[in-house]
Amino acid sequence: MGGGGGDRGPEGGEAIEEDPDAFFLEGSAQRQGGKKKGSRVEPEEDEEGNDEDEEEDEEGARERREAELELLFAGEAEEEGRRDFDMRALERTEKLKGKKLKGKRRRKEAKRSEAVPGQDFRVDTSDSRFAALFEGDARYGIETTSKEYKETEGMVRILREQSKRRRLKEGERREGREEGEGG
């Protein structure tokens, strides 16, 4: 690792500063080449020129791997955008739906509402995982008078489904009582 003959420390040994620099230079050369830790090229092979084809093959393989990874991750940014949402922007579009805008402001708001992520989100009320929410479990009550409550299309659908299921449940109870009294 040490240098030539002229760089000696005060006690005749190699200067301490050279060792860390040489280490970091080797590490950065390996990182730039994209080679793995164990695939270090011997200096003798470089001098002979026999290793050039292998280096080109390694570069081509590395480029192919990078291209494959780019293809794999290309669609994820779009998916992230679809899954993400901006609550303030959603509230704004909900609020402006009922208003009649004219001219420049209408075009501006239409453009802004197109770019709002999460606008195409729909609550699946038939999903069995939300049964406790819809069937009146007290732990999952939605308090519409709370300041944190935001009236969005999804929240309105959840409240309608809760109300519908409660009415069905009450209807079943009444029928059960009438059959029990009459029979």
User: Rounded distance, CA 47 to CA 49, Å?
Assistant: 6
Backbone angles phi, psi at 14, to 5 degrees: -70, 150
What pLDDT is stored for residue 109 in this prediction?
72
Q: Say yes or no to pLDDT of 125 above 60.
A: yes
For 17, 30, 75, 93, 134, the CA distances from 156, given in Å and listed in that order, are 69, 58, 31, 15, 12
Average pLDDT score over the chain: 69
Q: Say yes or no to pLDDT of 171 above 70.
A: yes
Residues 105-132, mean pLDDT to the nearest whole number: 72
Query: Who's near 86: CB < 8 A, 6+ residues apart?
Result: 116, 117, 118
Backbone angles phi, psi at 8, to 5 degrees: -120, 145
What pLDDT is stored for residue 68 in this prediction?
79
**Which residues make beta-bridge pairs with 8?**
14
What pLDDT is stored for residue 64 in this prediction?
85
Residues 46-62, mean pLDDT to the nearest whole number: 69
Q: List the domain boundaries for the chain.
A: 14-34+59-84, 85-117, 125-183
Q: Say yes or no to pLDDT of 67 above 60.
A: yes
pLDDT band at 23 (very low <50, low <70, confident <90, very high): low
Q: Say yes or no to pLDDT of 129 above 70.
A: yes
Q: Say yes or no to pLDDT of 12 above 60.
A: no
What pLDDT is stored for residue 10 in this prediction?
54
What pLDDT is stored for residue 28 in this prediction?
53
Residues 86-107, mean pLDDT to the nearest whole number: 71
